[in-house]
Structure 1
Amino acid sequence: MALRRVICLLLVIFLLGGCATSASRLQAQIAADLPLRRELSTTPFFPDDSYFCGPSALATVLSAAGLATQPEALIGQVFLPGREGSLQIEMLAGARRQGAVAMVIPGTLEALLREIAAGHPVVVLQNLGLSWAPSWHYAVVIGYDAGQILLRSGTLARQEMSLRTFENTWNRSQRWAFVALLPGRLPVTADETEATRALVAFERSAPAATAVQAYRSGLERWPGNFTLAMGLGNALYASGDRAGAEVVFRRAAESHDLAAAHNNHARVLLELGRIGEARRAAERGLAVAGAQRQTLLETLKAIETAEEVQ
């Protein structure tokens, strides 16, 4: 408790000394297309004065996204008693288990402000202590105004923190932050690599039909992404939509000419009874197979069996 009092006193000193400077710095960094101030005032609040800031922050963004969740339901999923806290990987996995697409955003102030402007509260990891005596803490950024960052944090429903203090505490976590949204929506600042990683991770714990929604949103933004195309095709197949999967795999094969797409396309065509087309797809795949040659040969064997029965 003594350490917490010292930390609180340091924060007060920072806040009193840095308000004017923070205001000008924040205004200078707000892009011309963003509002000068924004607050997501309807964001839920789950006060916490213990080690459960992780479950509380996660419940906040999940509930804001429309997935009503209580922190108590998340403790067993994201809280590690031995560490008296929650690891970042557990926070992301916990969000996905609840049905949200959790995605790390770029660690920049502009990305943070853009997500808030888009209506997305952001979970941030802060070190409220010192580099040699860390006090890790998850909070939820809900706005910015007049040089201040606004947070749902600990027992404070609306913490006003100067930009200087916020950046100092955020820098010590390498500016880690993430957004959790319903499938079909993406953070406005998501980059293609992180989005692909997050959507593939989401599919592992999501119902097939929900994964379809998530992959479609990714492909709408990055239509040339082969991994997302294959993910969508596989999710459609798993959901029972063979015709939809055939269309996606055919387009992926035509656009990328890769063995995996040709093979999946051939397999779906075979199941649809379009045996001649399946053979042509498998043969095109075999021509570029490389390390996947054996897989294509097995597909061709299955096609030959079907031809004999026909």
Structure 2
Amino acid sequence: MLILSSNLSKIINKAIKVGIIASLFLLIGCSTPPQTLKLTQQPPTNIPLTANIKGVPFYSQQAYYCGPTTLAEIFEYNGVKLSPESIAPQIFIPNRKGSLQLEMVAAIRHQEFLAYASHGSLEQLLQLVHQKIPVVVLQNLGLSWYPLWHYAVVKGYDLETQEFILHSADIENRRVGMKVFERTWQRAKYWYVTALKPTQSISALNDFTYISASQDLISIGKGPAAIPYLQQAIKAWPENWLSYFLLANYYFEKNNITKALDWFEQGLTYGDNQSDYLNNYAYALLKNGDINQAKHWIEQALKISPNDVNVIATQAEILASQL
């Protein structure tokens, strides 16, 4: 059996923003949060002290449109020009007066970019900016009992002044101290998302998160767009079996068994200890008429996972083909 890849008034709101938030920033300025402290004590040595990505467009944000606005900025940077107003119908939820993270990610995939979303770190933001990748971050500019969620684009940093450079709300190239930034980002669990093209450097990223995001493109019917991302993943992380597995499955499900077998065989050195990998490889061999090799690899899969129902079903199908 093949395993298929398959709110209060405006007055209070204004008071919060102007009064309490200003007081909060003064309070949090008194202590240094952990990641900022680490960066100031041990700044990374493999990146310059300052960086600012050129060519990131700026759109002045309309009320509650921080989601559509930040997406418009990173889309245009990547070559797709869409206004915030044209993006808003896809992601803006009127009764929530904002956009949820899931909608942000889905809108990126809709444009056939890889939506890389994760819970990151300040150092990772520095590395991404250094690699000329602008990042949308989720911040809570309010308090735990009165959150004010906001998306901004991180496009630069200055380690000498300990600041990040953001496109935020109606301020272009806004400089925010790292201590303040970390506090607001920390309250959003350090969540960020970025839209990637297959040609961009991915050395600062996590391999499984990147590969999983590639599979997400396949899952929504954008397989051809996912292929170059998976191929890029193999270049970056050649020993990760999952990229070969997903490529092979994709071509198998498209009835291109020859190409599926090619990808299975390219990754076999790295996937030969994964029962799912061997199961699907054996199944593809069976469909290609190579019964002896199919028997060999399903037996190896059974040694790893003797009770796996998919592996047992594949073995039964292989044995039945000899009757």
TM > 0.5 between the two? yes
Distance in structure 2 (CA, Å) of the matches to 1:57 and 1:38: 19
- Matched residue, 2:259: 244
Q: Counterparts of 2:19 and 2:156 in 1: how far apart (Å)?
A: 23
- Report deviation, 1:10: 5.8
The answer to whether structure 1 residue 228 and structure 2 residue 243 are counterparts is yes
Q: In structure 1, what is the Cα distance between the partners aligned to 2:18 and 2:206?
A: 36
After TM superposition, the structure 1 stretch with the greater mean CA deviation from structure 2, 202-211 or 33-42, is 202-211
Q: 1:55–1:79: 8 Å Cα contact kept in structure 2?
A: yes
Alpha-carbon distance, 1:239 to partner: 6.0
- 3-state SS in 1 of match to 2:156: strand
Pairing partner for 1:65 from 69, 78, 96: 78
- 1:165-184 alignment runs, 5 A limit: 165-184=180-199
Distance 1:36 1:263, change over 3 A: same
**TM-score, with length taken from structure 2:** 0.80
**2:211 match: secondary structure:** helix
Q: Unpaired runs of 5+ in structure 2?
A: 1-9
Cα distance in structure 2, aligned partners of 1:191 and 1:87? 23
After the TM superposition, which parts of structure 1 deviate over 6 Å for at least 4 consecutive aligned residues?
none
Q: 1: distance between equivalents of 2:208 and 2:143?
A: 32
CA gap 1:10/1:177 in 2 versus in 1, 3 angstroms:
same
Matched, 1:286 2:298: yes
Match of 1:205 in 2: 220
TM-score (norm 1): 0.83
- Is contact 2:244–2:267 with CA below 8 Å preserved after alignment? yes
Residue of structure 2 in register with 1:87 after alignment: 100
Asked if structure 1 preserves the Cα contact closer than 8 Å seen for 2:286 and 2:318, the reply is no
Structure (1/2) with the larger helix percentage? 1
Pair 1:35-2:48 in alignment: yes
- Are 1:261 and 2:280 matched, yes or no? no
Rounded Cα–Cα distance in structure 2 between residues aligned with 1:90 and 1:299: 43
Q: Which amino acid aligns with 2:294?
A: A
Identity of aligned residues (%): 31
> Alignment partner for residue 131 of structure 2, among 94, 98, 118?
118
Aligned length: 298
Residue of structure 1 aligned with 2:67, choices 45, 51, 54: 54
- The reply on whether 1:97 has 2:110 as its aligned counterpart is yes
Q: Secondary structure at the match of 1:82?
A: helix
Deviates more, 1:244-253 or 1:174-183: 244-253
State the partner residue of 2:205: 190
Cα distance in 2 for partners of 1:100, 1:261 equals 27
Distance 2:17 2:76 in 1: 30
Determine if contact 1:106/1:190 at 8 Å carries over to the other structure: no
Question: In the alignment, residue 277 of structure 2 is paired with which amino acid?
Answer: A
Structure 2 residue 17 is matched with structure 1 residue 7: yes
- Asked if the contact 2:295–2:318 (Cα under 8 Å) also holds between the matched residues in 1, the reply is no
Encode CA deviations 1:124-152: one digit per residue, 9 max, x unaligned: 00111111111100010111122221111
Report the alpha carbon displacement of residue 180 of structure 1 after superposing the two structures with TM: 1.2
Q: Which moved more, 1:198-207 or 1:253-262?
A: 253-262
Match of 1:144 in 2: 157
TM-superposition CA deviations, 1:207-250 (whole Å, max 9, x none): 33322111111222222323222111123445675433211112
CA RMSD, 1 decimal: 3.1
